[in-house]
Structure formats: C-alpha cells, structure tokens
Amino acid sequence: MKKLKLISLLLTVFMFTTLSAQEFKYIGAEKCKMCHNKPEKGEQFNKWSAGPHANAMKSLKGAEAQDPKCLKCHSTAGHVDAKAIATLTVAEGVSCETCHGPGSRYKAIPIMKNQAQSIANGLIIPDEKLCRTCHNEESPDFKGFDYAKYSAKIAHPNPLAAK
Ligand code: HEC
Ligand code: HEC
Ligand code: HEC
Ligand code: HEC
C-alpha cells in the first residue's frame, strides 16, 4: 500500500513538473524592467544592460551571429526551444531569464514577493554551477572562472531586500 502511494505521488510530481515546465515562457528583459529598474532597489535592468551579458551578441561577427555553436552561450533566445519563447529576442544576448528562469508565470507581484511561490513558478536562484554551463573550456575565449570575482563584476543586489 505504502509503495503504491509513493508511486502515485511520484507520478503526480512528474506530471506537474513536465506540464508546468512547458508553460513557463521567456518574456524578455523589457518585461522585468518595469519592476526592476528603480535606483533605490538596485536598478538591475540598467546594470545588466551595461554589462557583458546584455552585449554578448555584439561579440559575434557576420555568420557567427547565426551559428548555433556560438549562440549556445551568447544568446538565450538563440538556443532555447522556440516553443518556450514568448517575447524574448536573440539580440538580448544572455538575458535575465538565462540565470533566473523563464518569467511568464513568476512575474506577477504577489508571486514575486514570495520566494517559494516564485520558484514553484519557474524562478531560478542562480549559483556557480549555472555560470559554469557557459564559463568553461568549450568557450574559444575562456579566461578561467573565479565565481567570487566574476559574480562581483555582474552584481545587481537590491539594497532594500531583507537578507
Ligand atoms: C510586476 C513587477 C515585477 C515584474 C514584472 C518582475 N518582478 Fe521580479 N520581483 C518583483 C518584486 C516585488 C520582488 C520582491 C523584491 C522587491 O520588492 O523588489 C521581486 C523579486 C525578484 C527576485 C528576487 C527573488 C528572491 O526571492 O530572491 C528576482 C531574482 C527577480 N524578481 C527577477 C525577475 C525577473 C528576471 C523578471 C523578468 C522575467 C522579473 N523579476 C519581473 C516584481 C516584479
Ligand atoms: C548562457 C551562458 C552564460 C551564463 C549562464 C553565464 N554567463 Fe557570464 N558570460 C557569457 C558570455 C557569452 C560572456 C561574454 C560576453 C561578451 O563579451 O561577448 C560572459 C561574460 C561574463 C563576464 C565578463 C567577463 C570579462 O572577461 O570581462 C562576467 C564577469 C560574467 N560573465 C559573469 C557570470 C556569472 C557570475 C555567471 C553566473 C551567475 C554567468 N556569467 C553566467 C555567458 C554566460
Ligand atoms: C561554452 C560557452 C561559449 C561558447 C560555445 C562560445 N562562447 Fe564566446 N564567450 C563565452 C564566455 C563565457 C566569454 C567571456 C570570456 C571569459 O571571461 O571567459 C566569451 C567571450 C567571447 C568573445 C569576447 C572575447 C574577449 O576577449 O572579450 C568573443 C569575440 C566570443 N566569445 C566569440 C565566440 C564565437 C565566435 C563563438 C562560436 C564559434 C563562441 N564565442 C562560442 C562563452 C562561449
Ligand atoms: C549571468 C546571470 C544573471 C543575469 C543575466 C541576471 N542576473 Fe539577477 N542575479 C544573478 C545572481 C547570481 C544573483 C544573486 C543571487 C543570490 O542571491 O545568491 C542575482 C540576483 C538578482 C535579484 C535579487 C537581488 C537581491 O538582492 O535581492 C534580482 C531582483 C535580479 N537578480 C534581477 C535580475 C534582472 C531583472 C535581470 C535582467 C535585467 C537579471 N537579474 C540578470 C544572476 C543574474
């Protein structure tokens, strides 16, 4: 009996995660900007725009900008499943949602204010492992990766967030 319950629980969890994974769509940084660009809260959009990730497509010249081998790391929209894209563009490069997960479901304020609910709706809290999916030897221009140093360079904390 116990075994049966466990199996049905696992099945439900599996169905829920595969179903909802398909529902999470990439919406693009412009959509995050309306709530995440206030100076007193750390203007995440401006910091990202001025940083390396938003400008990653500018490093690809000519045919490289269509080459899946380069897009894999230089553009989120350039490598994720096309069905998962709502309004994200290739030109956005390494977008917010590369690190934070597709935002279509978690972007609503009541969900965003609750971390557990945000995660259930697709939010990712990025860590070193995620960075290393791109910052590794497969990159023709790999310069090594020191998480502390690299995350400080792209930091965009919210000074008002209780931590
Ligand atoms: C309608 C407003 C709104 C939109 C749109 C929105 N957010 Fe948020 N987000 C919030 C609020 C409110 C919080 C809670 C903290 C705060 O008050 O700033 C939050 C928190 C977060 C956090 C911190 C989560 C945690 O618990 O550590 C991340 C990361 C985040 N948002 C990323 C994004 C990204 C990426 C997008 C776009 C895909 C986005 N948000 C769109 C309002 C929004
Ligand atoms: C989807 C791939 C991808 C992920 C994930 C990623 N990056 Fe990057 N990152 C890039 C690319 C591509 C560049 C180079 C942009 C350019 O100059 O064209 C870059 C550049 C950088 C730079 C600038 C390096 C320099 O030489 O000045 C820093 C710092 C950085 N990333 C930090 C991080 C951190 C920290 C994480 C994880 C929280 C992370 N990145 C996750 C793709 C990624
Ligand atoms: C595995 C992920 C990955 C792949 C694949 C990749 N890149 Fe990059 N690229 C990066 C990262 C990360 C950086 C940032 C350099 C660093 O700090 O290591 C970068 C930096 C660059 C830069 C800037 C170099 C500099 O000195 O600032 C250029 C140009 C570039 N890549 C071109 C390309 C081209 C062209 C391709 C396809 C042939 C490609 N990349 C494939 C991850 C990747
Ligand atoms: C290369 C990966 C990367 C990209 C791109 C990125 N972030 Fe982040 N973001 C991080 C990391 C790492 C943290 C710190 C997570 C932690 O608290 O440990 C973070 C934290 C945040 C937080 C929480 C800040 C706090 O102190 O509570 C918000 C809000 C946020 N990001 C929004 C955005 C938005 C909006 C964009 C795009 C405009 C964006 N991020 C792009 C990696 C990224």
pLDDT digits (tens, 9 = 90+) for 35-58: 999 999 999 999 999 999 999 999
Is pLDDT of 31 > 70? yes
Distance CA 33, CA 23 (A): 22
| Max Cα distance, the chain (Å) | 62
* pLDDT tens track for 111-147: 999 999 999 999 999 999 999 999 999 999 999 999 9
Ligand 4 pocket mutation pick from 41, 47, 100 by most atoms within 8 angstroms of CB: 100
Pocket of ligand 2 (CB under 6 A): 52-53, 56, 59, 73-74, 94, 98-99, 126, 130-131, 133-135, 143, 150-151, 153-154
Q: Are 29 and 48 in contact (CB under 8 A)?
A: yes
